[in-house]
């Protein structure tokens, strides 16, 4: 029973490291395959979370104070990765106020890490010795941790509230993961529960982040809910002036007759193309909506996405859909 504390720390720490490695591998594969911005920031988050869990666990084996400091220094770049991740699923640009907040307390962490009481030895009732952060170093780390937790919980909650019914279940999983990592883990740490449930901090932080990350990987559309609201996607046959595919996200959204709408888009596009001679029409802006168009270079087909506003993410998603649609079309039919 002498090594019960060490054993619990090693098992939970390296299990957390294993989960981080798996999530990193999956996230990296998805980013290489799909090149989505939020997936890149997810990759960086998992890199630093993996480093934290490996270094923090290993430092207990060698009782290395410097390694333990380095483990918690990984929290700083992870904070920036979380900021970029949360902003990538909620807005077009990065919020400089969040960056400023993270820079200030990251700087504080660096300064306080130089103090002799930044990491101390912790002697358990069993006589075993482990390491723990303390003093102002621990406080600055805790502030960054709570800040990351608030970001994760806030934005996954917004995603859940705005998600359509078909995505509510997977959005709930994502929110639950954020609660575990962003609220339960800090509460356990602040109240000392982690000194009773050894390794709970490893499992809660990594496990919660794993659930949230896998939710976004399994349902990539979660990342596109907040920056804009898509109403309807239509694929129009301009030659016959008829819609050949319609998908509606907002069931309350109403448009005019599909054939009339198709004719209108075709007419406006042809008129501008002939009169201005600057290429195909790409956007039609209205007071409360925007129509984004993607023309086929081979077929008399236009993909039209109606949304509340345009964004780079939205255009990329439409380009990807159009490319796949035109490729399938070339295999299965001739128009």
Q: Mapping DSSP to helix (H, G, I), strand (E, B) and coil, where does residue 274 land?
A: helix
Phi, psi of 113 (to 5 degrees): -65, -20
* Angle, helix 168-179 to helix 200-218, in steps of 10 degrees: 160
Of 291, 304, 290, 303, nearest to 329 by C-alpha is: 303
For residue 1, what pLDDT is reported? 42
Q: How far apart are CA 316 and CA 310, in angstroms?
A: 11
Summarised one tens digit per residue, pLDDT across range 87-126 is 888 876 789 999 999 999 999 999 999 999 999 998 888 8
Q: Mapping DSSP to helix (H, G, I), strand (E, B) and coil, where does residue 314 land?
A: helix
For residue 154, what pLDDT is reported? 94
Of 269, 272, 265, 267, nearest to 243 by C-alpha is: 265
Partners of 303 in the beta sheet?
Answer: 235, 294
For strand 230-237 and strand 129-133, is the pairing parallel, antiparallel, or unpaired?
unpaired
Single pTM value for the model: 0.75
Q: What is the CATH number of domain 230-332?
A: 3.30.450.70
Can you list the residues of the chain whose pLDDT is less than 70?
1-2, 92, 227-229, 239-241, 249-260, 262, 266, 273-274, 276-279, 310-313, 331-335
For residue 253, what pLDDT is reported? 60
What is the second-level CATH architecture of the domain 4-224?
Up-down Bundle (1.20)
Sequence ranges of the domains in the chain: 4-224, 230-332
Of 206, 187, 255, 239, nearest to 78 by C-alpha is: 206
**Contact present, 129 and 122 (Cβ < 8 Å):** yes
Residue linked to tokens 């970001």: 151
For residue 256, what pLDDT is reported? 58
* Angle, helix 135-162 to helix 96-112, in steps of 10 degrees: 160
């Amino acid at each position: 029973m002498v090594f019960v504390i060490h054993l619990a720390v090693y098992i939970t720490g390296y299990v957390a490291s294993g989960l981080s490695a798996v999530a990193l591998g999956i996230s990296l594969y998805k980013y290489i395959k799909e090149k989505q911005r939020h997936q890149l920031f997810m990759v960086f988050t998992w890199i630093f979370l993996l480093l934290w869990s490996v270094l923090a666990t290993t430092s207990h084996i060698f009782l290395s104070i410097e390694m333990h400091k380095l483990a918690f220094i990984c929290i700083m770049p992870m904070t920036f990765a979380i900021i970029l991740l949360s902003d990538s699923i909620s807005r077009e640009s990065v919020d400089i106020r969040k960056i400023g907040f993270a820079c200030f307390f990251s700087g504080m962490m660096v300064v306080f890490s130089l103090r002799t009481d930044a990491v101390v030895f912790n002697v358990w009732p069993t006589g075993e010795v482990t390491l723990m952060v303390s003093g102002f170093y621990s406080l600055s780390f805790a502030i960054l941790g709570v800040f990351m937790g608030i970001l994760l919980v806030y934005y996954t909650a917004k995603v859940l509230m705005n998600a359509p019914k078909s995505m509510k279940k997977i959005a709930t999983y994502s929110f639950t993961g954020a609660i575990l990592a962003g609220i339960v883990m800090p509460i356990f740490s602040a109240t000392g529960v982690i000194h009773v449930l050894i390794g709970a901090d490893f499992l809660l932080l990594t496990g919660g982040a794993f659930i949230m990350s896998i939710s976004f990987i399994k349902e990539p559309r979660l990342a596109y809910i907040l920056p804009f609201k898509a109403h309807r996607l239509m694929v129009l046959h301009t030659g016959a002036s008829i819609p050949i595919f319609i998908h509606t996200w907002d069931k309350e959204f109403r448009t005019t007759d599909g054939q009339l709408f198709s004719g209108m888009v075709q007419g406006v596009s042809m008129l501008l193309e002939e009169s201005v001679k600057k290429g195909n029409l790409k956007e039609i802006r209205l007071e409360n909506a925007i129509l984004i168009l993607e023309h086929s270079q081979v077929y008399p087909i236009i993909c039209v996405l109606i949304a509340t506003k345009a964004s780079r993410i939205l255009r990329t998603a439409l380009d990807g859909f159009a490319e796949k649609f035109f490729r399938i079309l070339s295999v299965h039919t001739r128009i």
